Each structure stands twice: as C-alpha cells, then as structure tokens.
Amino acid sequence: MRIAYISTYPPTECGIATYTQYLSDSVSAKGKEIRILAQIGAKGDNVFEVYAPDDKDIASKLFFHVERLTPDIVQIEHEFGLFGDQRGVQIIEFLIRCNLADTPVVVTLHTVFEDLKYQEKIIVQHILNLSSSIIVHENFQKDILLNNYDCPNPILVIPHGVREVKRVENAKELLGLEGKQVLLLAGYMRSTKNFEKIIGLLPRLVEKNKDLVLLMASRSRINEHSDYKDLLYKSLNSTGVRKHVKILYGKFPQFTLDTILSAADVMALPYLKGGQSGVLAQASALQLPVVTSELLSFKNWIEEVKGGFYATTDDEYVNHITNLLQDGDLRLEFQENIRINNEKINWTQIAKRHIELYEKLLVPPIEGAQFYYRPERLGSNTKIVH
C-alpha cells in the first residue's frame, strides 16, 4: 500500500510537521510505502518539496505529484492557512482533482471549533463533502461537525499519538535543578497560551513551595508574537520572585526537549484556546502530570486519563500545582495512569488504526481480488500484505 501524506514536514518547525513525521514513520514501520508531499523546506527519504504557502497553483502542483507517484491513498493533514490565501481554499480544488481521478482521500482536521470564521466554515463543509473519510482527535470535535455541518462521509476519532520514550533520569542535574520543585511552561509563545496566568500566580506558589523553580522553555517562530514575548519576559521582573525562575532558550530539538520535560515535576497548560495539544502529547510521552485550563480537550483528557487537574480559578491553579509538587505519591499515581493510557495511543497503535481505515477505502476492481504489496525488507515467506 502506498500512502501520500500532504502536510508540512521537518525540518520545518510546526506541530503538524512533527505529527506527520511520527505518523508516517509508524505507518512505514508496518510495511507500507510512504510518500510525503510537503511545503518547500521539507527534507527526508521519499519527501518531495512541492509548494510554497503563498503559491497560487498549490492544487495543480500537488496533483502533478499524485499523478506521477500514484498513491493508493492520499492523506491530508489539514490546518487553515497551509494551502494558500483565503484560509487555504486551494485544498478544495485538490480534493476535486483527486475525486476526478478516483483516488481516495482521508483528511485529518486538526482545527475544529464551534466559532470558526465564515471562510473556514465554507472550507470545512467542502472538505466534508469531498473526502472519503475524516479523522479528528477528539469526540467533541466529531460532535461539532455532526451538529453544525452536513457530513455525508464517515468521521473517525483517532487520538493524537504519543511517543514511546524513556525519561532522562539525570535531567535535573543536567539543568542545575537538583533538589528543586520544578514547574514547567513550554511550547511556542503566543497569547492564547496564557503563560502570564502562571507568572502572575508565582508569588503565591513560591509562598507555598519554597524550593519552587518555574522553568520556562518557550520560544517563538522568528518574530511571531514578539510583542507578547517581550511583555511576558518584562512581567517576570515585576513579580518579586525572579530568582525562582529559570529561562531556557534555543531551538529545543527532540532530545533537548525530552531532557527539559524530564526535569519537570509538573507542567502547566493555562491555554485560552486550542484543541488537543501537541505539547500535552509531549508531556504524556514523558509521563509528566499536568495542571491545565478548563479547555474542553484538556478537561476530557484529565477526566479520562486522570493524569492531572484542570483549574477554573486562580486558587485552583495554586492548590493543584502545590498538591502535585508536594505529594510524591500523587505524582506517581498520575504518572502510572498516563503510562497505562499511553499503551492505547502510542504511535504504533495510532498507525494501526490509520491502516485499518486505509484498507477499508481500497475497493477491489472485482469480487475476490486481493490487494498485494510485499515490502522489500520483510522475509521471503511474507504473504499477502494489505
């Protein structure tokens, strides 16, 4: 089976790019042929740099490669703005071209909110009409689509995957944080992350937790949200507890980020807006308990996994963070809950669920025909592989 993923892709720094790398690598490990059709800047085996985000002919460029690479399935990792102007309307023309070529297309909608803008709602409806199947990460996202749009094709809920990785055991030592209670803020820096909430509560947190260090490992892309970044850093000097803050800056490639996550006792996610967070998936991989806002995606995760608390007031943020920092048994309990949940949603399991969907979409040309592909790296006795 040959699958063409359409997405951003590393070394481009983007949550969708990282997601696509983990998913496609896991699907490839199960013996499937992978092709990546990506924006300019992507690199890797079977990765094709196809278009720039401001091109006016994205649909034709993508379909040019689909015609020549002849995938059995196309999967689009969709985010508004990745496919040109007017919130990425060119993806609709591409879907029409795939329909004309009788090529099944799966679309993962990474942004599903009830308050989408007018242009975005029109694009979503066309995606629903023209896709063979839709994937979302959360049950509430499926409910939003069913309640607000005409949905003629199947919608599957497949969670965001988590990596199978071990903690860096000496991480606190490496970061000079031995003996400290470490509260982590991490991820791209933008106003919707609401990091100022935790900074504003820092004096109260330090009063209750004398050995607390707020570890900030956040960054912005180029000068994106630079005013917010400057305001955030300035606010640290007005809290009166600057000595309880350690700021890290850099590009944070994966192993570096794993070290940072491993040094933390608790991560705070006080976000104002968002779906299932890639940062939450990173924290889950390292079994790091969290205290989050009451965003529906976070609230659902906490109620299902029991890997942390969500907070609705300042007092709840302070109390929940303090409880986790001071109660080692509670942290261990939450870590074990996260570990158990990870077994169900690691990338190996997520790849399996994608492949099951792909197989359902491959329609045999005649009754009894079998799809056959034999990966080169498998043994000589390999039977028919779907």
- Residue 275 pLDDT greater than 80, yes or no: no
Angle at 128 (CA atoms; ends 102, 300), nearest 5 degrees: 130
| pLDDT tens digits for range 39-55 | 999 999 999 999 999 99
Cβ–Cβ < 8 Å for 33, 373: yes
- Residue 382 pLDDT greater than 50, yes or no: no
Structure-token pair, residue 115: 């308050």
Residue 298: pLDDT band by 50, 70, 90 thresholds?
Answer: very high
Rounded CA gap, 170 and 262, in Å?
8
With a pLDDT cut of 90, the percent of the chain lying above it is 81
Structure-token pair, residue 152: 């003629």
Q: How far is CA 46 from CA 28, 81, 83, 280, in A?
A: 11, 24, 21, 29
| pLDDT tens digits for range 141-153 | 999 999 999 999 9
In CATH terms, are 2-161+346-361 and 171-344 the same topology? yes
* Phi, psi angles (nearest 5°) of residue 229: -60, -45
Q: What is the mean pLDDT of residues 194-220?
A: 93
Whose CA is closest to 4, among 40, 34, 44, 49? 34
Domain boundaries, given as residue ranges, for the chain: 2-161+346-361, 171-344
- Residue 276 pLDDT greater than 70, yes or no: no
Domain 171-344: what homologous superfamily?
Glycogen Phosphorylase B; (3.40.50.2000)
CATH 3.30.360.10 correct for 2-161+346-361: no
| pLDDT tens digits for range 107-156 | 999 989 888 999 999 999 999 999 999 999 999 999 999 999 999 999 99
Q: What average pLDDT is seen over the chain? A: 92
Rounded CA gap, 217 and 283, in Å?
13
Does the pTM surpass 0.75? The reply is: yes
Burial class (CB in 10 A: 0-12, 13-18, 19+), 343: exposed
- Residue 224 pLDDT greater than 70, yes or no: no
Rounded CA gap, 369 and 353, in Å?
23
Residue 2: pLDDT band by 50, 70, 90 thresholds?
Answer: very high
What pLDDT is stored for residue 129 in this prediction? Answer: 98
